[in-house]
Amino acid sequence: MDGILVIDKPKGVTSRYVVNEIVKKFNTKKVGHTGTLDPIATGVLVVCIGNATKLVNELTSNDKEYIASVELGTSTDTLDITGNILKEEVSIRTKEEILGALNSFKGTYIQQVPIYSAIKLNGKKLYEYARKNINVSLPKREVEIKSIELIDDIEYKDNKTLFRFKCTVSKGTYIRSLIDDIAIKLNTIGVMTGLIRIRQGKFKIENSVKLDDVNRESLIDTLEVLDYKKVYITDDIEKKVLNGALVDNIYNSNEVLFITDNRAIALYKVYEKDEKKLKPRIMFKGGV
């Protein structure tokens, strides 16, 4: 069984929990998701089953769209409201100040990875260092904030400022870290109080399925979601493709998805040593 599921992850569970539930529902161990959501977060979690797991990296590279909830005036060790409170302060900021801070992050910037994350450093996940109170130099990387806008009205509660924003970001962007950086820009502290992923690539939350409602009819055929040039194999190259051999690039495309019997069997790309040839990029044993 092969295909893709677009699940609306419930709050309070890990992405790994969702994968484990799908393993049980479909009685297969070949299951993988394409981008972790923290337990506090809900929304689009794209899950691949069977040979579609070979597409995890392809789908993970897509940009993502979120709605984030923020509380200015509180800081925690995890950068979200589920963590241990480190500090609280009076933090009243105007709409104009918040808009200015949000707009300043449009484009690329260097973001520090949060200590409570699964990024590995010297073979260990960062959260393992955090749990043992070991200080490490946190890695930084360039991310892109493609769009960011304030939504809803700003609220003030207990001398703190509450607001929500929507953003579209590149792969690898931590919204918790973005919120921390926004708070610093506002000369205060802040935490993420909620997060909804409303889109990942072409997969939107309105087309997602609740975890409890997932069944075989929920599976999406991979041919529906792959945007590469599709070529139905003819007898003269079928054997070559099935064996992963080089083929002539007569298709005027840098990437070609070869199909037989309505199943994708291989994704080919331009051969670096000879642009007139295509070489295998992903082979789908048995098709997908």
Residues with Cβ within 8 Å of residue 84, at least 6 apart in sequence: 76, 77, 78
Tokens of 282: 């992903």
Which amino acid type is present at position 249?
A: N
The question of whether 77 is a catalytic residue gets the answer: no
From the candidates 2, 8, 38, 181, which is the catalytic residue? 38
Query: 21-30 long-range contacts, Cβ below 8 Å, gap at least 24?
Result: 21/211, 21/214, 22/47, 22/49, 22/214, 25/214, 25/215, 26/1, 26/216, 28/1
**Would you name the residues annotated as active-site residues?**
38
